[in-house]
A and B are shown apart, each in its own frame.
Chain A
Amino acid sequence: MSADWLQIARNQAEERFRSLPFPTGKDENFRFTPLEYKPAETGTATGSPLPSDLAKLDSDELALLLLEGEEARFLGATPGFLFTDILRAAALGSDPLRSRLKDDNSFRDDKFAQLTGARWRNGAFLHVPAGVKVAKPLRFVTHAMEAEEHSRHLIVLEEGAELVLVQESWSDEAARFCGELVEVRLGRNSKLHWVTLQQLGRNTEAVIRQRVELAEGAELKLTPLHLGGKLVQVRQEVHLSGEGASLEAQAAARGDGQQHFDFWLDVRHESAGSRSQMDYWFVMAEKAKAVFNGQIEVKHGAADCESSQRSKSLLLGSGAVHSIPKLIIKTDAVKCSHGASVSSVSFEQLHYLQSRGIPRNEAEQMIVRGFTEKVVERLPTESLIDRAETLIENKAGGVHG
């Protein structure tokens, strides 16, 4: 099934994986995230069936791609563009796929990215030609079937294309390690709203690597919501390469128990007039921890850029939030701002709601829930909102928590 060029690319990634050292606590980006990798024995933990609501094409959606290990199922129709699994796209000899995977230079320094680059079993491939505007959202679901499961996704929007893409990841309660490598390329003046609902099982560790490149005037709207997993590290590199490219993100993570989330962001303003605005919301209950490593870099010559990055955290238990902002500015005439706050439920907010008769418990839940509401309200379909709300309600510190 696998083309020769694909096998060569995998072998190269495998070599790089073997030659790179494992990160240690001395590496800045792993200081608070003790990421360990032990190769899993294959065939040890076959995944439980995917919940039926995730596996069903919603009437508000155009198409759904279910990725379960190597297997892929497709529901719906995508006239005028290609949305399929990456193995099938390789077999079809898709040019954009071949050119991207053959000479993949991304995350060369990243041992985990190379591991996934070598061992991915399948993934989503989306190619939207120039000028195609897709009215209804597309969705793909990754379902981890093995004790170690890697997937590779490639999303390409050509000039002027527009799309809403939903990505959901799910695993059962068995111990699993998931690697994910995503590349997104946005052509001139294209627009992508990329929504992620991460609902991995309690014993899944996930290492996610995402690289996005935006050409002139391209717009990326990001809405990631992370609710599951044992330890989840997302390294995201956004290159605002073209003039006037823009990134707008509202992201949230809700943790409880011993969950650990690590967001490692690297936003690079490489052209004049590019914009980025990012809000990250964390609610950590019980012993859950979050790490926010936010770096903004404005390259030499990228004048008139505007960037703002904020992280706001609510700590409900004995966990912790580490926020590490970093600005690297190599040009004049830019507007950049950073902000980070960590608090518990505000006395003043609580008093205000209670003074209107709302009992303390209910008032607390309203405030906590409100913290992630700006992300939930951006989810594009009712069924996705229902799914997110149910998961949130079942979190400690949530409505039924």
Chain B
Amino acid sequence: MMGTILPLLEIRDLAVEVEGKEVLHGVSLKILPGEVHAIMGKNGSGKTTLSNTIMGHPKYKVTRGDILLEGESILALPPDERARRRLFLAFQYPVAVPGVTVAQFLRSAILSVRKGEVEPKNVRKLIKEEMTKIDIPDSFMTRFLNEGFSGGEKKRLETLQLRLLQPKMMVLDETDSGLDIDSLRRVSESIEGARSPQKGILLITHYQRMLSHVRPDFVHVFIDGRIVKSGSAELALELEERGYEWLEGGKAASLN
């Protein structure tokens, strides 16, 4: 292994079933430290299946292949253990959990993921500091988790979690959807701020607009549960111009 860089996230020939139906048909992808990859595809192409499978949602059954985080298979690990290994998924539709306050939730999450690194007595201060940096009002803390939140508020709360949990590998599922221009800018700044030579980012998106704020190193096109084309950031612009139809007929080979 001398001389080779270990990928942060490696997906090998992944096939996934949902309720008995195969949705992903052999996806392979390698993300090295410092890289930003974007997966682009239409609704229903399997993008969210991929992100949920990476995070270990029990509804998605892996029938073939593997997912490795820093060289180790995580398929057998529950989602909380994956999170503690510093994998993070920003959800497209974060669910509401009535009765659990944002403060209580963030505290439990920070103390679970950053155990030994953040002292319980410092948690409150840490949350407050990060909230101030991204202009989240104090009133968020006493609200119930995602309950009655607007689309924009939910995404901002996902961003706050991303900042607080300091993951190594981030999967951002349609983080740009439902955001106005200002919110998009704010969220993009946070993602751009999380970019570092040690970290990896997988952006899952429908449109190119987020990619003009967070420039990817690689773009992959997802159609019918497969990567049909991979390329540089320019591929995103080409998709914006030409749509997905030109790729739908022929199954172009992945470059990865």
Contacts and interface: CB of A to CB of B under 8 A. Distances in A.
A229 B56 CA distance: 41
A357 B84 contact: yes
27 contacts: A347-B58, A348-B95, A349-B97, A352-B91, A352-B94, A352-B95, A352-B97, A353-B108, A354-B83, A355-B89, A356-B80, A356-B109, A356-B112, A357-B165, A358-B105, A358-B112, A359-B80, A359-B112, A362-B112, A366-B104, A367-B100, A369-B99, A370-B100, A370-B144, A371-B98, A371-B99, A373-B99
Most buried by A among B80, B91, B144, B165: B80
A119 interface: no
B58 A356 contact: no
Interface in B37-86: 55-59, 78-80, 82-84
Q: Report, nearest first, the 9 A-B pairs whose CB atoms are least far apart.
A: A370-B99, A373-B99, A357-B112, A357-B113, A357-B83, A356-B109, A354-B79, A370-B100, A354-B80
B58 A351 contact: yes
Contact of A356 (B57, B83, B98, B144): B83
A355 B99 contact: no
A83 to B, nearest CB: 33
Greatest chain A CB density within 10 A among B83, B161, B165 is at B83
A59 B94 CA distance: 42
Interface string A330-372: 0000000000000000111101111111111011001101111
A165 to B, nearest CB: 25
B108 A355 contact: no
Interface of B: 55-59, 78-80, 82-84, 89, 91, 94-95, 97-100, 104-105, 108-109, 112-113, 144, 161, 165
Contact of A374 (B80, B84, B98): B98
Contacts of B105: 353, 356, 358, 366
Contacts of A359: 80, 112
A372 to B, nearest CB: 7
A284 B89 CA distance: 32
A357 B113 CA distance: 5
Nearest to B55: A355
A362 B97 CA distance: 14
B142 to A, nearest CB: 9
Contact of A351 (B57, B99, B112): B57
A341 to B, nearest CB: 12
B100 A373 contact: yes
A370 B80 contact: no
Given A356-B109, A366-B97, 17 more contacts: A347-B58, A349-B95, A351-B57, A352-B95, A353-B105, A353-B108, A354-B80, A354-B83, A355-B55, A355-B56, A355-B89, A355-B91, A356-B113, A356-B165, A359-B112, A372-B99, A374-B99
A123 to B, nearest CB: 34
Contact of A362 (B99, B108, B113, B161): B108
Nearest to B59: A347
Nearest to B83: A357
A366 B108 contact: yes
A99 to B, nearest CB: 43
Contacts of A352: 91, 94-95, 97
A354 B78 contact: yes
Contacts of B161: 356
Contacts of A347: 58-59
A5 B249 CA distance: 93
B238 to A, nearest CB: 33
Contacts of B57: 351
Contacts of A360: 78, 80
A373 B98 CA distance: 8
A401 to B, nearest CB: 17
Contacts of B91: 352, 355
Nearest to A367: B97
B98 A370 contact: yes
Nearest to A371: B99
Contacts of B109: 353, 356-358
A358 B80 contact: yes
Contacts of A351: 55, 57-58, 79
Most A-side CB within 10 Å, residue of B78, B112, B165? B112
Interface string A27-40: 00000000000000
Given A347-B58, A347-B59, A370-B144, A355 B79 contact: yes
Contacts of A358: 80, 105, 108-109, 112
A354 B108 CA distance: 10
A267 to B, nearest CB: 24
A379 to B, nearest CB: 14
A357 B80 contact: yes
Contacts of B79: 351, 354-355
A203 B55 CA distance: 46
Contacts of A371: 98-99
Contacts of B82: 355
A357 B107 CA distance: 11
A343 to B, nearest CB: 12
Contacts of A349: 95, 97
B95 A346 contact: yes
A233 to B, nearest CB: 26
Contacts of A374: 98-99
A351 B93 CA distance: 12
Contacts of A346: 95
B145 to A, nearest CB: 8
A45 B227 CA distance: 75
Nearest to A356: B109
B160 to A, nearest CB: 11
